[in-house]
Structure 1
């Protein structure tokens, strides 16, 4: 294993006033709103409608960023390019978060354009099918189809990265496991930000009060809803139970106070036991998927530098392997 990739990192820094203020705002607004709404289908519809209204407000992107719509059979997406210095022979496939029922590629542009910039490749952000109309299997089918589409367009597996946050982190890991199990070519690496990996019936107890954004009871409720009628310990349903033998290097980023912290940590430990190099980063007092706050939070901007180093280490590792094979 490469020491540059296989590492536990706990960045040490004084928490910025921006992060502290946002934690307080989230705790006083989003967390109680989620507690109220996420109890039935009607409440989910209201939450989804609110997010849709937010999507209609044009986001401010830097002038060097371009967004181009894309269609993939059963779902849509968009190509995001974070500058002119882009290697078009490579790609990053991104799965947005949103608990499998809200958000879209558009809501996550603060992440995707920065991923494009630091990876120096275009990012394909997928609007995969979501609940409550669609199932986890539909989302996974869309993810696999999008990956195959990249291969069909001439991208080599070693030139593709996967990434996702929260539910999108779940989808990233499920996609890797499905590709491996089907004997299909695997991407070079995967990046998961605050991945939601355990949808089993185990109740969440870690950071229930410390998390400024997610109410543990509502996360458990959503998990039960999406796994109704399924084996919730199937690795494609709860990737935390997966055998990661043979998958490419992983980077997992979490916040120290979020309730999904151990979802990511447990995958990191399991993957290492299966021989997979893992960069696990736990950021002090950062909220769930803090990278999306990069427009206002300094730590959220800094994490993209860490992602850049991980991608560079993966590419250097691949080059060394190629030279040794030659």
Structure 2
């Protein structure tokens, strides 16, 4: 039972990839069943799911859109699979039951910022951007049994480079997540995270070039002012996730519902860029609802 909650907790905490602020609510942990009780997490397992998210049409936008949110996570042999925003991470270090867990592997994501669904006419006129494919190492550590026998506190950092030739830069994404069961069939995860982008990344997403400024004027609402962005931390925030197993038992797999909500704030040149300060908003909200199946 304890191993099942910790494995499920790592998976749920990994899902919390969108930064936001939220208050944590906890209840007493469930009474432990026999230590040798079988669970779906004892061997290889996979969770797949799909849902819908509601968030800004681009990073820094004040227009909101619906978008699909697929999910895959699990454990195949020694390889752990964890979701990331727009991607996935693989952990190649086997976990030990009830002990401090170290992670090291590779993370990848598809970044579609300002590549589609641009609702602001001026920003759309400035031109869509190419999608970036970011790949790089991920490392972390997780401490079980922090406040109760079934919770965990995890620290992770992803370092990724664009290999598709879009922004051609590097991002660093540190985060901390706390997972705890609220009952035998319900669990919660609270995550706080940030993102750093280098000069190439910031220039691609937050600078306004003379060509972009001239193109934006064709929307008839005035041209975006010229702006040169430099690298630095571009956002910070936290997210709260709740998961509920439909048969009331998280440890036996099957269908579950997942809800997520969060808030993030744009920082530095990501906040000062005209894409945010003139046409958007530094305050960014996010919500999502999905259904998954574990087997």
User: Considering only CA atoms, is the larger Rg found in Structure 1 or Structure 2?
Assistant: 2
Which structure has more strand as a fraction of its residues? Answer: 2
Which structure has more helix as a fraction of its residues? Answer: 1
Q: Which has the higher contact order (CA 8 A, sep 6+)?
A: 2
